Structure formats: structure tokens, C-alpha cells
């Protein structure tokens, strides 16, 4: 009987130790996951449209590459092996190639199989825009709800927010720009909002001649809802200029790509929603 009681005590004791060990392991794994995830969050990744919160994104993304394959301007790339848990996940280097939203239908989000790029908000925004359009245009012989739907979906994008460096911005310095924004060797492409091409064209084919540089304002795919050239009066009474980023900025990065200064005078700070 004493032997059975001893065995029982040993069993209970070993059980308590095992539970404690598992709890410790679990806590350790949780801590490591938290630390590693936070490290990834601190990285300045500009994710494609529709990306969920970074700490969830790096686990939800299965690195299938569908978003990369479908992007018409090849803006999306795989994160390198040095990026730890983020290795193989999609990101955008806007300085090399921005997302100019020229696919119109936000194809990268629509094609994502795991909702790491979440399409529902875009779908809802498009449907609401069409519903509103129908109320006043259904009888119109030229009825076409698709431009309204496309614009509503683009407005739903929130990759980041542009920020101007006033120390190097040509407009702020009162300088103009003449020539090709990034030079003849630059391979980036975009669909200019003022052009007549249905597809993106090389930036090196675009010539500018402005007394006050406004390349970022002219090339923004979201137009005046996202960025305008602000005019103000300097302390000495002269007129000053500065690109003003507005709430309509979707963080696509086109302004970063087209900025003609050696280092971009405007950047996009990523936003995870």
C-alpha cells in the first residue's frame, strides 16, 4: 500500500513538473514569437495593397508568388533570405518600381488565396459605389459604372503615407526641374494620369520643364485628393511652394519613384491596417 502511495506521489510530482515544463516551453516560444514578430514589424516593408497587420501577415502569407506574377508593372518582389520570418513574403521597393494602380482591379489582392491581402474592403467599396451610381445614372444611355467602381476600390488602398523632406525637395527650395526625372537608364514604368496610354510606359520617355518642380504632383495616380502643390508666403515676403500630402494618399509610392533628386525627397512610411 505504501509503495502504491509512493508511486502515486511520484506520478503526480512528475505530472506537475511536466506541466510546468510545457508551460515554460510555451512561454518561451510565445516570447520568441513576439520578439521575432516585433522585429519584422520594425522593418520598413511597404507591403502590397490590402495587406493585413504585419504580425499576422508574415504567417498568413504562404509565399505562393501569385501577387508577384499578376502585377502588370512588376512592382512586387520577394523579401530576401536575411529577413527571417518575412523571407519570401511580398514587398515593394517604390524607388525602383512603384505600384501605380494601373491594373485598376487591385489584382494582387484579388488573387491572394489566404487573405493575407484582404479583398473584402475593396469589394464592398466597389459595390457601394455602383449602388450609389445606379441611383442617378441607370437611365443614362452611356451608363458605365466601372470607372466609379475602380476609383472607389483604389481609394480603399492604404499602403502607407507619403512624407516630404523639406531640406532636399526642389519645390521647397524654389527650384525647377528640366529633363528626365530618373535619367535614361532608369527602368521604372507608370501610367501617367494625364496621358492617353491604357498601359504603363517607361518613365525615361517622359520629359519635364517646370519652373517649380512638381513631378510628384503630376504623376500621382490619385490626383488632387492625394497631393497638391501648396503655395505659401515666406518670411521675406516671397512665394514658397511645397507638395502637400492629403488624406487621399494611398501610399502607392509613385511619388518616390519619380522624384528627380539623387535621394528621393519624398518617401512613403508603411501603414499596416
pLDDT at 37: 53
Give how many domains the chain has, as a whole number: 1
Residue 142: inside a domain, yes or no?
Answer: yes
Cell numbers found for residue 203? 518613365
Find residue 91's DSSP bridge partners.
77
Residue 190: inside a domain, yes or no?
Answer: no
Helices (H), 138-236: 146-155, 215-219
| 117 contacts 105 by C-beta, under 8 angstroms | no
Residue 146: inside a domain, yes or no?
Answer: yes
Between CA 90 and CA 72 the distance in angstroms is: 15
Residue 140: inside a domain, yes or no?
Answer: yes
Residue 193: inside a domain, yes or no?
Answer: no
| 109 contacts 118 by C-beta, under 8 angstroms | yes
pLDDT by residue for the chain (273 residues), tens only, comes to 554 554 555 544 444 444 444 454 455 445 445 555 555 554 579 999 999 999 999 999 999 999 999 999 999 999 999 988 899 999 999 999 999 999 999 999 999 999 999 999 999 999 999 999 999 998 898 999 999 999 999 999 999 999 999 999 999 999 999 999 999 999 999 999 988 888 999 999 999 999 999 999 999 999 999 999 999 888 888 899 999 999 999 999 999 999 999 999 999 999 864
Pairing of strands 76-78, 90-92: antiparallel
Residue 137: inside a domain, yes or no?
Answer: yes
pLDDT per residue over 188-240, tens digit each?
A: 999 999 888 889 999 999 999 999 999 999 999 999 999 999 998 888 888 99
Residue range(s) defining the domain that contains residue 138: 119-157
pLDDT at 180: 96
Distant-in-sequence, close-in-space partners of 145: CB < 8 Å, separation ≥ 6: 129, 130, 133, 134, 137
Residue 179: inside a domain, yes or no?
Answer: no
Q: What is the pTM of this model?
A: 0.82
Residue 124: inside a domain, yes or no?
Answer: yes
Amino acid at each position: 500500500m505504501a509503495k502504491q502511495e509512493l508511486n502515486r506521489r511520484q506520478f503526480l510530482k512528475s505530472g506537475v513538473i511536466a506541466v510546468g515544463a510545457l508551460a515554460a516551453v510555451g512561454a518561451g516560444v510565445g516570447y520568441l514569437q513576439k520578439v521575432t514578430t516585433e522585429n519584422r514589424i520594425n522593418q520598413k516593408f511597404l507591403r502590397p495593397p490590402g495587406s493585413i497587420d504585419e504580425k499576422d501577415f508574415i504567417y498568413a502569407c504562404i509565399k505562393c508568388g501569385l501577387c508577384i506574377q499578376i502585377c502588370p508593372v512588376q512592382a512586387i518582389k520577394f523579401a530576401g533570405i536575411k529577413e527571417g520570418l518575412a523571407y519570401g513574403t511580398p514587398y515593394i521597393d517604390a524607388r525602383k518600381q512603384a505600384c501605380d494602380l494601373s491594373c485598376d482591379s487591385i489584382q494582387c489582392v484579388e488573387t491572394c488565396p489566404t487573405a493575407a491581402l484582404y479583398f473584402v474592403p475593396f469589394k464592398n467599396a466597389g459595390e457601394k459605389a455602383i449602388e450609389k451610381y445606379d441611383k442617378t445614372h441607370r437611365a443614362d444611355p452611356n451608363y458605365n459604372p466601372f470607372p466609379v467602381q475602380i476609383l472607389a476600390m483604389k481609394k480603399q488602398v492604404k499602403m502607407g503615407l507619403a512624407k516630404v523632406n523639406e531640406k532636399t525637395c526642389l519645390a521647397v527650395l524654389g527650384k525647377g526641374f528640366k529633363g528626365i526625372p530618373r535619367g535614361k537608364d532608369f527602368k521604372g514604368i507608370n501610367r501617367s494620369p494625364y496621358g492617353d496610354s491604357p498601359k504603363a510606359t517607361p518613365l525615361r520617355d517622359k520629359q519635364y520643364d517646370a519652373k517649380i518642380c512638381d513631378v510628384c504632383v503630376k504623376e500621382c495616380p490619385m490626383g488632387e485628393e492625394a497631393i497638391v502643390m501648396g503655395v505659401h508666403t515666406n518670411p521675406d515676403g516671397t512665394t514658397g511652394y511645397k507638395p502637400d500630402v492629403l488624406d487621399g494618399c494611398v501610399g502607392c509610392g509613385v511619388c518616390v519613384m519619380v522624384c528627380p533628386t539623387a535621394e528621393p525627397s519624398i518617401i512613403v512610411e508603411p501603414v499596416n491596417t
